[in-house]
Structure 1
């Protein structure tokens, strides 16, 4: 129990609380932020992935329960995603163990770096697709024709990525669903993603725990800090300018991914400065081409229209 009363445990708690707020504000998966944060705190990549997956399985279960009670998930769509994702997610921990030793730590560091860059790219694509939906005034629906094979393939790819790196359950899979089912309402899409993510993350967590175990001094602060942080973020989401936050997250994910891939710090700084200065101008231009004002506060955010709530 003394592991819970150390400076390291307090650092994990504070960071997990902050990450939880961002997750609550934006609805994105926490693994893309929490796993690299744990690594930067000095926790080795294998332990960071294992503990983050166990904590995520707890936090996602809470969110999924809320959406289940509201009747928002598309259970048939979630089922096909689960069929594809669970076996590959479970295999992730065994793949890392098979690599073994110092090679596993290096492999995981680079794999997480690549996953973060993919998450940043998919998050940008997600904002763009949502922007197009808002600008076109396209009518969404709660009923779709589920495509089993492509859906299971999305689950398999997402499951493997999450199983190895813990990154992707709330970013890559969501974008793939947007591309496959562009008319599915926002509330159905989010609810389905949360429900399928529970067995996905749980299977990945079991695979890693079976091979590496968990660290109580890391896991407990992750859960204690992340849960209230997510709650506060969700409560604040209605009155915080999410468009700016989402673009900021893309920058953070990109720079973190470059750092983990070993890009020299001076180049990371130059790229970060370029994204910070030129990114808003480029995004404003993209918004104009989509037919909406260049710098509107929330038009590019994930918004659930009243028609989606009914």
Structure 2
């Protein structure tokens, strides 16, 4: 059995992003397998989910030990996602076999990737607008401080899990990219690392259910899975350790760019049109983002401040009323 070291290195880099942000596992790993290594889409989905079933607990245990997990949210999400994840595998199989099935999986992957990229942009906008003068002052407490208690909404949370589980079962995309964005919309008081920790833990039974379905009914390839595991286990561990200290804004934008490129590739867009589309997305997206920041009362570009600190009064030993300059 041939071991692919390049595939292992690619999975290591993807897993670091997963550990840092809770996103990008299937959204990056599956397109990486199909685009760069020529793995058939269904085999890529199956192998990625089986490796994720081993990778996800590594990152989630780090967050569980730190206390950055909301267990009630995890329970309600799993109540919706576990059964639908298994059903997603059966639905993918019911759509056909051979080239027809691969085409359906590619289109489903492309749609899921576009949704994931859009969700990342929406999440960044919500985070940015929450700190602008047009909104109430944001909470500036550190991520590791105790978060305010939240009121769990069982039905919406279970529906999010159900939709996410179905998409994950069919495409392997969504256990992080889609569900974590929905969690942010439902529970904006959750701090960033608690969002990541909660999402990583709820993804464990979700991907287990989907992985079992793909082992039984999918196109599982052991050689691909072993290469993914060799890189992803240390990668997700390192990313999870750094998740509470590393800024995620730049990573989210880079991830959205990669998701868009992967989606265009899944839709069969040629290299030259895809390159122009990505350039246009960067130019138009940057201009639109600057306008949105200005509309929210922020500087168009988040450049670092270089303000001169106010001059400190010279201590001369005289009384506060004496403002004369002492010369020697």
TM-score interval for Structure 1 and Structure 2 normalised by the shorter chain: 0.7 to 0.9
TM-score, normalised with respect to structure 2: 0.82
Counterpart in 1 of 2:122?
Answer: 125
Higher helix share: 1
Unaligned runs of 5+ residues in structure 2 are: 142-146, 305-328
Tell me how far apart the structure 1 counterparts of residues 222 and 148 of structure 2 sit (CA, whole Å): 42
Counterpart in 2 of 1:281?
Answer: 287
Give the superposed CA RMSD. 2.4
Counterpart in 1 of 2:67?
Answer: 71
Distance 1:115 1:236, change over 3 A: same
Contact kept, 8 Å, 1:26 with 1:237, in 2: the verdict is: yes
Contact kept, 8 Å, 2:8 with 2:231, in 1: the verdict is: yes
> Post-superposition shift, 1:99?
2.1
Tell me how far apart the structure 2 counterparts of residues 48 and 121 of structure 1 sit (CA, whole Å): 23
Unaligned runs of 5+ residues in structure 1 are: 299-310
Tell me how far apart the structure 2 counterparts of residues 174 and 76 of structure 1 sit (CA, whole Å): 15
Corresponding residue to 2:7 among 9, 12, 29 = 12
Tell me how far apart the structure 2 counterparts of residues 210 and 238 of structure 1 sit (CA, whole Å): 37
Query: Which segment drifts farther, 41-50 or 64-73?
Result: 64-73
CA-to-partner distance for each residue in 1:286-308, whole Å, 9 max, x for gaps?
Answer: 2232333332269xxxxxxxxxx
Contact kept, 8 Å, 1:77 with 1:146, in 2: the verdict is: yes
Query: Which segment drifts farther, 286-295 or 221-230?
Result: 286-295
Contact kept, 8 Å, 2:59 with 2:237, in 1: the verdict is: no
* Aligned-partner SS, 1:291: coil
Bigger-Rg structure (1/2): 2
Counterpart in 2 of 1:37?
Answer: 32
Tell me how far apart the structure 2 counterparts of residues 184 and 199 of structure 1 sit (CA, whole Å): 22
Contact kept, 8 Å, 1:114 with 1:257, in 2: the verdict is: yes
Tell me how far apart the structure 1 counterparts of residues 11 and 130 of structure 2 sit (CA, whole Å): 33
For residues 111-260 of structure 1, what are the structure 2 equivalents within 5 Å?
111-135=108-132, 136-139=136-139, 141-212=147-218, 214-233=220-239, 242-260=248-266
CA-to-partner distance for each residue in 1:173-204, whole Å, 9 max, x for gaps?
Answer: 11111111122233332222111111111111
TM-score, normalised with respect to structure 1: 0.86
State the number of aligned residues.
294
> Post-superposition shift, 1:265?
3.3
Distance 1:238 1:138, change over 3 A: closer
